Amino acid sequence: MAGGAGISGLYGVAQGQSYGPNSHGTARSLDFPLVKAEIIAIGTEILLGEIIDTNSAYIAQRLPELGIDLNYKSVVGDNMGRIVETFERAWNRSDLIVCTGGLGPTEDDMTREGIAKVLGEELYVDPALEEQVRRWFSGRGYPMPESNIKQAWLIASARGIDNPRGTAPGWWVERDGRVIVCMPGVPPEMERMWQREVRPELERRSTGEVLVTRTIKTVGIGEGTVDEMAKPLYGVPGIGIGTYARADGVHLRIGAKARTREEAWERIRPVEEEMERIFGSAIWGRDEDTLEGYIASQMHERKTTLAVMESCTGGLMSNTLTDVPGSSDYFTAGFVTYQTQQKIDLGVPGDVIIQFGTVSPETARAMAEAARRKAGADYGVGITGVAGPDPQDGIPPGTVHVAVATPEGGTHSLSMTMNQGRQAVKRRAVTTSLLLLRRALLGELR
């Protein structure tokens, strides 16, 4: 059972050892609710942005289902003064602090010292942990550098958390009805520790107030307008609603808290239905849905196939479509025709290019039709434009024409100009192509 699993990896408890009545006592008896949480990421590399902190997002995504509210996230460098300051504040305002990083063997790994300072407790080498760390090294056939002894440190209120993927055990600190969890910064080590040890233990403590969210993804309406349209629902008690502008349209997030997931869903359902009534076909997806995933499901459902001929997006359209597992069932071929000769070789009529130019709606449509023909697919997508940064034949960067050729024989194009960087232009051109393809599949293009 979860509690057991959670406890099993916690040294001292698992092995029936006591590190002073304090921590041991709390570990057994206490069963207070952990409600207000904050995350602290420690490390100069993260602070300076040399590493993107994905751990905090990983943890943040997993707290709501435990009924734990996350209020703050912070990043501190390897600086004792600021580490102590940050932990002191967290200790005073939160009852669960989840921190990652600073558990290594080097001098600038200060998480343990920092926490000891904040709680006014002494650091000591724990025999069980020391053996564990030494075993890790001997198991790999080399002796433990003495600096690694730090990784066997504990304080009275702390227990070690098993880390089979690395040398640094985690810390489970428990005192005065509050908990500090320390995990290594290396994502796979952190994730395993979270799944096997920390999550089950927190689940055991959880009050049961669960937050459930449902994201509704719309397209074709501005954020301000979506906000206006959804306002009537903002009053609904026990429900929180947020709007977020995204590359693939405006997202609406409905959140509900309740004792059980079922209860929460009962609150969300009517609001969701009302939103479906308000936004109708502007809604293209939910939660984790992606546009390419939507296209994939439609293609599978209709047993239709798709081919792409793209120039300015340089393969990003094909790449996006093939990020979906199983896309080989409907994605027959992609042609990245960066040069005019290639377009012609693959079936784009030369006179269209001569008459209208390579960057034109006409050429985009001819490319969509050529892709369809050449690959014997039901649908064809054509994309041509100037990704930039420089103009091309006098056409400004950010000019893009996308087209979709349908089995019904119609070919539809859409043109845009954007004032963005090369890669942003590529991304937006692909998003627009996916949206145009969606409309074609919905029969909205006539």
Q: Which of residues 243-262 bind its own copies (CB under 8 A)?
A: 243-245, 253
Q: Assess 423 for contact with its own copies (CB under 8 A).
A: yes
Among 15, 16, 21, 52, binds its own copies (CB under 8 A): 52
d(CA 224, CA 78): 42
Q: Assess 88 for contact with its own copies (CB under 8 A).
A: no
- Write out the binding residues for its own copies, residues 154-183 only, by CB under 8 A: 164-165
Least gap, CB of 276 to its own copies (angstroms): 21
Least gap, CB of 158 to its own copies (angstroms): 22
> Any residues with CB less than 8 A from the CB of 315 and at least 6 apart, and which?
334, 336
- Write out the binding residues for its own copies, residues 204-233 only, by CB under 8 A: 222-225, 227-228
Q: Assess 338 for contact with its own copies (CB under 8 A).
A: yes
Q: Assess 314 for contact with its own copies (CB under 8 A).
A: yes
Among 99, 308, 381, 405, binds its own copies (CB under 8 A): 308
Report the residue number, 122 or 146, with the smaller CB distance to its own copies.
146
Q: Is 201 helix (H, G, I), strand (E, B) or coil?
A: helix
- φ/ψ (deg, to 5) at 415: -120, 150
Beta carbons of 443 and 435 less than 8 angstroms apart: no
Angstrom distances, CA of residue 42 to CA of 117, 350, 367, 436: 16, 59, 51, 44
Among 220, 293, 315, 347, binds its own copies (CB under 8 A): 315
Q: Assess 50 for contact with its own copies (CB under 8 A).
A: yes
Among 16, 29, 92, 107, binds its own copies (CB under 8 A): 107
**Cis omega (within 30 of 0) on the bond before 389?**
yes
Q: Assess 82 for contact with its own copies (CB under 8 A).
A: yes
Q: Is 108 helix (H, G, I), strand (E, B) or coil?
A: coil
From 50-58, 115-123, 267-275, 401-409, span contacting its own copies (CB under 8 A): 50-58
d(CA 274, CA 259): 24
Report the residue number, 27 or 296, with the smaller CB distance to its own copies.
296
Q: Site for its own copies (CB under 8 A): how many residues?
A: 93
Binding mask 275-304 for its own copies (x = CB under 8 A): ------------------------------
d(CA 362, CA 360): 5
- Write out the binding residues for its own copies, residues 380-399 only, by CB under 8 A: 387-390
**Strand spans (E) along 128-168:** 153-154, 158-161
Count of residues making up the chain: 446
d(CA 106, CA 125): 16
Best CA proximity match to 42, nearest among 179, 198, 171, 176: 171
| Alpha helix ranges (H) inside 68-164 | 80-93, 111-119, 127-139
Report the residue number, 394 or 443, with the smaller CB distance to its own copies.
394
Q: Assess 75 for contact with its own copies (CB under 8 A).
A: yes
Beta carbons of 119 and 88 less than 8 angstroms apart: no
Among 54, 298, 304, 415, binds its own copies (CB under 8 A): 54
Q: Assess 45 for contact with its own copies (CB under 8 A).
A: yes
Among 22, 44, 298, 415, binds its own copies (CB under 8 A): 44
